[in-house]
Structure 1
């Protein structure tokens, strides 16, 4: 069998990978409500590692009790949460894959918080309001990210990824849609990037320059100044390279609203950014539904390619397509965002239908 480019090993700064495939951070809805991985979560990571995923990035893990995105989210805001990451990393390492937790703060999207805070004060949905974060609070959040990274290094993981995408707190600092501050954390691209810079510098100081830091970031914006955001992104990507980021994963703001038959919907802008900052290793996520899609991403200069919903639908997707299988069964219906709330442990509608049919046959 001809070896696909996605099977080629890769040497990133401080991170050696057996292939070019990333399981992008994906919330599983499997953790317990006290912020801990369950047996189902461990089994999911082990299955992904056994099926050709070279780098597994966890669902977003909370660095601050005031920044939990939902009830079933893994926590890493104190030492009692460390051991679960060591167990998961050991399972993944046994299959030759790498394990990188994503760390995040939900900002005004936090649950169970009455005093909501955002980059800039704003009205929210459901008659709620968020006040503006103080500078002291920003410094505390920076410290919480750094401490979370230190705990994870102690757990033996292969690095961390900062979640600076999808309208969570860090992305809101980067994007002028949300950031209208007039102090050192707002205005220019340099100021909007400041919190991410301080977190990365803090992690390097606490964990050493050789502990891999990855970043997930939106390559687009809903702000009217798209050209300005592109220029800001070029600046931020160059800064990330200067700061020693091992890999930047490019995502976007509107993946949920893409047409169901769309694929590789961020390829054009992603390629433009990769061409502008070729020295920074990057991966692209969004609408990757076949082996051809994966190879196309690499052919456009990206070092890696990221999968999310394809692996929700079929955890063995990579194994299948390398054996000659067709495209993913995922039809971008987005029911994976609501199905687990109705049927615990079920993430994909196809899996739910299969389980329902099996239950009926067993009656």
Structure 2
């Protein structure tokens, strides 16, 4: 009997061989201040592609020096960054995996000074400045230019990071966005920047390039999230990868008592009901039986397996064959794999 995980799915015009997605897990120490890798990402992603994973999302990649999450993260703000992504694309394609890269501006969570956001706010004793309209236009251009570099590198698409409290999340969330111009106030205004970036990337890269949106559950009502998801679909987003946002811990976003997984996973299954494009859910999916439950019950299109794929690069092939997988220990305070790829307790086992 064929595993439900092993069913292919079309994303834009690309056939993804199964329903497992590797989410953009940042290896924070694997780069330098200029956005270049210091540990081979091609090998890192190729191992998971060889292990059967259908869709690879390369970790959060900065669109500018200003927008870096960390000073040792990789970037796509210069043409000189393209070759490292060419190697990743080639390595994953050799294993018949589709591969895209997540593009991010961290906003008030960025390293260095000054930092910018939708509105002026103090963050960890650091003053965050409100973006001017001119600065917003520059950031839109930087997203588009980074997407074009990803396309030139041979990647199949990009994921625009609109979750986890980074810049686009800071615009969509009324908990942070206190602007009184066209980018603040009403829901449509708060969504404007994300939608303009999606529209610009689609126009620049053409119809065949995959656009994924990392969708953060940012606001206190599910109705706003449903509205946003439909707007993204209408603009040509090909897949939604649903995760947490600034307002994700709202008491209004509580799954039913009998729901077996996290509220973040639950929100992915709720967004799945609203759109006709593929939707992926994430968070705490470590065992194949969890992914199978979600897929067999038609609650989602794809399942993102994060730390499980760090603990076991062959997670997907094992899941398809019905074999046991390495179960992530969820090391505290941080994932040990991210240190150097070799400190994980499962490394080499």
What corresponds to 1:259 in structure 2? Answer: none
Measured against aligned partners, the alpha-carbon deviations of 1:239-267 in whole angstroms (never above 9, x if no partner) come to 111011110011124999xxxxx844423
Which residue among 275, 283, 286 is the counterpart of 1:286? 283
Kindly indicate whether residue 76 of structure 2 is the aligned counterpart of residue 81 of structure 1: no
Kindly indicate whether residue 130 of structure 2 is the aligned counterpart of residue 138 of structure 1: no
Aligned pairs (5 A) from 1:294-333: 294-298=291-295, 299-326=297-324, 328-333=326-331
What corresponds to 1:351 in structure 2? Answer: 346
Secondary structure of 1:204 counterpart: helix
Contact 1:8/1:18 (8 A) holds in 2: yes
Q: Note closer, same or farther for the CA distance 1:106–1:267 as it changes in structure 2 (3 Å cut).
A: closer
For structure 1, which segment, 207-216 or 35-44, has the greater mean C-alpha deviation from structure 2 after superposition?
Answer: 35-44
Aligned pairs (5 A) from 1:9-88: 9-29=8-28, 31-33=30-32, 34-88=34-88
Aligned pairs (5 A) from 1:76-225: 76-111=76-111, 113-125=112-124, 127-221=125-219
Matched residues in 2 for 1:57 and 1:158: separation?
10
Contact 1:312/1:347 (8 A) holds in 2: no
Using the TM superposition, give the Cα deviation of residue 300 of structure 1 relative to its aligned residue in structure 2, in angstroms.
3.5
What corresponds to 2:229 in structure 1? Answer: 237
Matched residues in 1 for 2:189 and 2:343: separation?
39
For structure 1, which segment, 15-24 or 316-325, has the greater mean C-alpha deviation from structure 2 after superposition?
Answer: 316-325
Using the TM superposition, give the Cα deviation of residue 211 of structure 1 relative to its aligned residue in structure 2, in angstroms.
1.4
Secondary structure of 2:40 counterpart: helix
What corresponds to 2:252 in structure 1? Answer: none
Matched residues in 2 for 1:115 and 1:238: separation?
35
Contact 1:314/1:328 (8 A) holds in 2: yes
Secondary structure of 2:184 counterpart: coil
Contact 2:202/2:236 (8 A) holds in 1: no
Gaps of 5+ in 2: 250-259
Contact 1:264/1:293 (8 A) holds in 2: no
Q: Note closer, same or farther for the CA distance 1:186–1:58 as it changes in structure 2 (3 Å cut).
A: same
Using the TM superposition, give the Cα deviation of residue 320 of structure 1 relative to its aligned residue in structure 2, in angstroms.
2.8
What corresponds to 2:256 in structure 1? Answer: none
Secondary structure of 1:193 counterpart: helix
- The count of aligned residue pairs is 336
Secondary structure of 2:161 counterpart: strand
Q: Note closer, same or farther for the CA distance 1:216–1:121 as it changes in structure 2 (3 Å cut).
A: same
Secondary structure of 1:271 counterpart: helix
Q: Note closer, same or farther for the CA distance 1:268–1:345 as it changes in structure 2 (3 Å cut).
A: closer
Secondary structure of 2:159 counterpart: strand
Kindly indicate whether residue 23 of structure 2 is the aligned counterpart of residue 5 of structure 1: no
For structure 1, which segment, 30-39 or 175-184, has the greater mean C-alpha deviation from structure 2 after superposition?
Answer: 30-39
Contact 1:219/1:233 (8 A) holds in 2: yes
Gaps of 5+ in 1: 257-261, 356-363
What TM-score does the superposition give when structure 2 sets the normalisation length? Answer: 0.89
Matched residues in 1 for 2:337 and 2:331: separation?
14
